[in-house]
Structure 1
Amino acid sequence: MATLTTENQTFPGFAYAEQSTFLYRSEFRSLSASGVFERIETPAFGGEQEDSALAQHIRQTLARAKAAGQAVPVVVGAIPFDTRRPSSLYVPENCQFVANDSFTRAARPMLQQPHRLAACTSIPDEPRFKHAVAEAVSRFKQGKLDKAVLSRILDIELEQPVAGHQILNNLMVQNPTGYHFSLPLADGGVLLGASPELLIRKQGGEIHTNPLAGSARRQDDARQDRLGSERLMRSTKDKYEHKLVIDDIRRRLAPLCASLSVPSGPSLLSTGTMWHLSTRIRGELLNPALNVMQLACLLHPTPALCGFPTESARQLIADLEPHDRGLFSGIVGWCDANGDGEWAIVIRSGLLRGNRVRLFAGAGIVAASTPQSEWMETAAKLGTMLNAFGLNSGAL
């Protein structure tokens, strides 16, 4: 089987390969943005309010950009998992909306040798992660918590530096659907990924969200893969985990909507490495003037990335996770001056700085979870990014 890797070369037609450029691709709209007109680091905490510090900062910055000659200024970037931390948002100097398939059509598979590892460390390691899962399950018995999402990071050092746009190329080849992004950060790093999960999309008065919760690893054998997807659809544990997420999102959005369409049960969504339980939710806002950033801050973080109840899950994560998630399991996307835009969850993603890579994966823990199965789930989810680097996930 051909290995997709990242030789330092220009891909035919890959016109958006600048590492300093923000790229975002989805089935809705895709854009390329360059330069920084003004950064917005105001934390998103309380951002669901129209008069929040973040909302005011965004309005003022967009107004300044328009006064400086930008016809249709936009805000792009990411908000961290912990909304009390600084945001990584900015208004670019230039922004171009492009055909949705422009990026994926330009991506090209390559036959090269995979990158070689110099070092690789999981934080926490396997015993500590499994201990955290067991501790979380024991706390569920106290009746104060229904779900918590525990994560781990994989710190990788490669023998040679890698360019972010080359990894994005591989992600688009290997995962042609979903939400592709590459975000240049103020410290010189690049956040990139291929997320399968939509937090919120708004166009006029219409909104969409597509939460995922409950998952299973894809199998190479077609029959085993089909059986695995069928088991996932029957899984009491996974359906319970999924229902917690859907019920919470419905509770938050329903008061804002004239109508809210929520399917009676989940469907299957597949990526190159995973099956997910998926529910596509559509709504019509009572007030079409609501800003997509307000809606994003209202929902984020959902129980799919944090747990339920939210504050109890946050505390458990703080108690049991030895690392700072930063932008991982945050949100990435864009918002225009009309309040329309789209935000995806920062999963199946990585931070790239030269030859150093940090990857992230999490698993939803409920009372029926087992430490071994949750460890294996994080390993499977890491496969998306490891494949993009040409690394064998089975060897890590």
Structure 2
Amino acid sequence: MMNHDQLSPSHEVREARSSLEHSPRVRQPVHAQHATPSFFLSSFRAIKASRLQKRLSLNQACQQLAEWRENTELPPGHVAPTILGALPFDLTAQAELFIPTDIALTSREVLEADCGAETVEEPTLQSYHSDLSEAQYCSLVSDIKKRMAHSDLRKLVLGRCARLRFSGPVHVASVAKRLIAQNPRDMVFQIPLRDGSILVGASPELLIRKTGNEFCCHPLAGSIPRSSDREEDARRGQALLSSAKDRDEHAIVVAQLRSQLSALCRDLEIPDTPSLTRTATMWHLSTRLSGRIGDRKMSALDLARLIHPTAALCGAPRDLAFRTIAALEPSGRGLFAGLVGWSDARGDGEWAVTIRSGIIKGAEAQLFSGAGIVPGSDPEAEWHEIEAKLGTMRRALGLESVSA
């Protein structure tokens, strides 16, 4: 069975990495171009793409992957045709998926170097607005807890959006460079969007990684902000690991995935207890699920589509939580709490949860953070959690601390 830490790159992938250094890129007709390249970086693969051949809806992307799988011959050492992009929280909304003209497997070091030197003069922050104040957010958490006492709702992820305006255009390359440097364990991405804005972030949460017929998931649920004091930081991690409230929240997520994946795969392996995962700003409870897909024709995107959104992003029961989020959150999520990643003609791919991210356009940036609410949640603690989660993008924007 596979290693639970991560799926190792296949022999074909290693050959492709080597051959790319010596093979010319295949160029195809261009329908549109991006001035800003796209990339997706993980411990499994680093992909860089430039220029746009074709945009796709979610249905079109799944159909294209199926056609490639049926009709495309892929000798060892060749990079498979690939679809990149982002999916919204609500899969019925518009997707940001595309086929790039130029694509290459690369490395963290190359991607960081490609971002260039950081700008000497950063624009200054002029305004910061949150669609929910601390008092409003805490009031909603209390309201959700009351709903849980009189309904089937067991968990709900409540988010808020923050909008920032700067004195001049934000240098996205500098933001991406900081994200790569400051988040060595996370999946870092940069995706130009159809309206000219750019989705950029560093997600610690893997929804699905598939290679061949093997897959793994790494959901996160149950969190606590980290401390700069080493002893206090370790204490917080252990407190999270032993927290009954957070373990119950995490168990809801794992149970939902177990139910969904059991019907699709064999050899499903799920640890009995969660582990600790850390980012630069947060401790999380995490569980790595792994197994083998029964239908080899199912692509990573097909699988992601079936299990998104998980209880880690939405809540439980899913349909009730989804409707409640739409009723309570003042701003639509759009791409936030959606998915970002890639799938290729072999059916392989990676899709990360679009958290710890922002959408940047000119001098404006939009950020999102959320927390899982359960009956044992403390409103003020949940507010401090979502504030800490914004720290990843705040630091990438050159802001040490900002409050609503």
Task: Give your verdict on TM over 0.5.
Answer: yes
Q: Structure 2 counterpart of 1:55, which letter? A: C
Deviation at 1:60, TM superposition (A): 5.6
Structure-2 separation of matches of 1:62 and 1:206:
17
Q: Which runs of 5+ in 1 are unaligned?
A: 1-17, 43-51
CA-to-aligned-CA distance 1:58-116 (integer Å, 9 cap, x gap): 546899999xxx97321000110001101110101111111355335767896967642
Secondary structure, aligned partner of 2:210: strand
Whether 1:20 aligns to 2:27 is no
Question: Are the equivalent residues in 1 in contact too, given 2:87–2:338 (CA < 8 A)?
Answer: yes
Question: Are the equivalent residues in 1 in contact too, given 2:119–2:171 (CA < 8 A)?
Answer: no
Structure-2 separation of matches of 1:195 and 1:233:
21
Structure-2 separation of matches of 1:355 and 1:19:
17
Structure-2 separation of matches of 1:111 and 1:88:
28
Whether 1:56 aligns to 2:60 is no
Query: Cα distance 1:109–1:174, how it changes in 2: closer, same or farther (>3 A)?
Result: farther
Match of 1:179 among 181, 184, 187: 187
Structure-1 separation of matches of 2:70 and 2:171:
34
Structure-2 separation of matches of 1:221 and 1:113:
31
Match of 1:29 among 40, 45, 67: 45
Which residue of structure 2 lines up, in the alignment, with residue 378 of structure 1?
Answer: 386
Structure-2 separation of matches of 1:19 and 1:171:
20
Whether 1:221 aligns to 2:229 is yes
Whether 1:249 aligns to 2:265 is no
CA-to-aligned-CA distance 1:127-170 (integer Å, 9 cap, x gap): 22122111111100013110000000110001121121210101
What does residue range 1-396 of structure 1 map to in structure 2 within 5 Å? 20-42=36-58, 55-56=62-63, 58-59=65-66, 72-99=80-107, 101-104=109-112, 115-396=123-404
CA-to-aligned-CA distance 1:225-252 (integer Å, 9 cap, x gap): 0111011001111000000001111111
More displaced stretch, 299-308 vs 283-292: 283-292
Query: Cα distance 1:159–1:105, how it changes in 2: closer, same or farther (>3 A)?
Result: closer
Query: Cα distance 1:100–1:114, how it changes in 2: closer, same or farther (>3 A)?
Result: closer
Question: Are the equivalent residues in 1 in contact too, given 2:116–2:173 (CA < 8 A)?
Answer: no
Q: Which runs of 5+ in 2 are unaligned?
A: 1-33
Secondary structure, aligned partner of 1:94: strand
Deviation at 1:270, TM superposition (A): 0.6
Deviation at 1:358, TM superposition (A): 0.3
Structure-2 separation of matches of 1:214 and 1:90:
33
When the two structures are aligned, how many residues end up with a matched partner?
A: 367
Secondary structure, aligned partner of 1:252: helix
Query: Cα distance 1:62–1:168, how it changes in 2: closer, same or farther (>3 A)?
Result: farther
TM-score (norm 1): 0.87
Structure-1 separation of matches of 2:305 and 2:396:
30
Question: Are the equivalent residues in 2 in contact too, given 1:62–1:91 (CA < 8 A)?
Answer: no
Structure 1 ranges of 4+ moved more than 3 A: 57-66, 99-102, 104-115
Query: Cα distance 1:254–1:104, how it changes in 2: closer, same or farther (>3 A)?
Result: farther
Structure-1 separation of matches of 2:79 and 2:71:
11
Deviation at 1:286, TM superposition (A): 2.0
Query: Cα distance 1:64–1:39, how it changes in 2: closer, same or farther (>3 A)?
Result: farther
Structure-2 separation of matches of 1:90 and 1:359:
23
Structure-2 separation of matches of 1:139 and 1:100:
45
Deviation at 1:55, TM superposition (A): 2.2
TM-score (norm 2): 0.86
